[in-house]
Amino acid sequence: MVDMILASVNWAQVGIVLGIFAAIALLLTVCILLVAKFCKTNADEKVENILSHLAGANCGGCGCTGCAGFAEKLAKGEANLSDCHVTESAQKAIIAETLGIPFTQSKPTVSVCRCSGGKNAKDAFTYCGAENCAEEAKLSGGRKVCKYGCLGDGSCARVCPENAICIADEKADVDPDKCISCGACMLACPKGLFSRIPADAKVYVACSSHERGKAVMDACAYGCIGCGKCARTCPEGAITMQDNLPVIDYNKCVNCGKCAEACPRKTIRTRY
């Protein structure tokens, strides 16, 4: 029976049909390859161009999961080039040209932790949970009496791509020689204690408490009491008092260090 069926098949016609299908498949494959090569969108090319000039640190400091995500947002106009503090200025200028936006070169910066607490700050209770600042902060703002201060659980140190942060005396310290100013620590800190200052700045305010003098003294041995002596001492008028804290205008600061010398609480710290 099978032999009869096979004998009745016109194999020449079958071969022609299979040849036609093969030719169609080959033609479609060639068309797909041509479309992929010559019809690639400008948007994809722009993203690849931008990505090729980013630092490639994938630190997450820009708020994106990595440089690829940041490049896509830049191409769509959903992010600012200034959000990246790792890419060199020369490369940023090329990216700006690709995006068709003006570029202004900014000064190098480093991150600092604006807290002098740690062991110098009193505990309100004993914390026995996960070693994670965000988790501890969920419990009444954390164990410290000062609700502005560093919790010392090291979340910032764990996200730093350059290992520039260490936890010393239960508070975070940044090594300016390793810091690339990516901002990953700023995103990780639930207290918002990290901020950028010029890389050549000598002094910074190591406190974030806006409480008044007695409340600060009851909570921390080194917290700012808002006395204003630093502002009065500064010969350049670079320091103003805002909400019980000194604010340094680094455009006026000449790195004389007199504010740090005058501070009775040693809240204004020198970096070198």
Can you tell me which residue has the tokens 């890419």? 87
DSSP code for 144: B
What are the structure tokens assigned to 23, written together? 């030719």
- Residues 113 and 209 grouped into a single domain: yes
- Residues 169 and 215 grouped into a single domain: yes
Which of 99, 129, 164 delimits the end of a domain? 99
For residue 204, the model assigns a pLDDT of 98
Please tell me the least confidently modeled range out of 23-32, 36-45, 100-109.
36-45
CA–CA distance from 233 to each of 112, 139, 257, 266 (Å)? 23, 40, 10, 14
- Residues 147 and 241 grouped into a single domain: yes
For residue 165, the model assigns a pLDDT of 97
Q: Give the span between the Cα atoms of 80 and 157, in whole angstroms.
A: 26
Average confidence score pLDDT of the chain: 89
- Domain extent for 214: 109-270
For residue 236, the model assigns a pLDDT of 97
* Whether the predicted pLDDT of 40 surpasses 60: no
- Residues 115 and 182 grouped into a single domain: yes
- Residues 50 and 71 grouped into a single domain: yes
* Whether the predicted pLDDT of 163 surpasses 60: yes
Give the contacts of 160 (CB within 8 A, at least 6 positions apart).
Answer: 184, 185
- Residues 136 and 56 grouped into a single domain: no
Side chain identity at 21, as an amino acid letter?
A: F
- Residues 132 and 199 grouped into a single domain: yes
Give the three-class secondary structure for 47.
Answer: helix
What are the structure tokens assigned to 177, written together? 């020689």
For residue 43, the model assigns a pLDDT of 62
Single out the residue of 103, 59, 101, 86 nearest to residue 69, CA to CA. 59
For the chain, the domain total comes to 2
* Whether the predicted pLDDT of 2 surpasses 80: no
Cα of first residue to Cα of last residue in the chain, in angstroms, is 97
**pLDDT confidence band for 258 (50 / 70 / 90):** very high
- Residues 85 and 131 grouped into a single domain: no
Asked, for residue 7, whether it belongs to a domain, the answer is: no
Mean pLDDT of 60-77: 88
- Residues 71 and 183 grouped into a single domain: no
- Residues 76 and 197 grouped into a single domain: no
**pLDDT confidence band for 136 (50 / 70 / 90):** very high
**pLDDT confidence band for 37 (50 / 70 / 90):** low
User: 165-212 pLDDT, tens per residue?
Assistant: 999 999 999 999 999 999 999 999 999 999 999 999 999 999 999 999
Q: Check which CATH number belongs to the domain holding 201 and give it.
A: 3.30.70.20
Asked, for residue 24, whether it belongs to a domain, the answer is: no
* Whether the predicted pLDDT of 12 surpasses 80: no
- Residues 134 and 243 grouped into a single domain: yes
- Residues 87 and 125 grouped into a single domain: no
Mean pLDDT of 44-61: 88
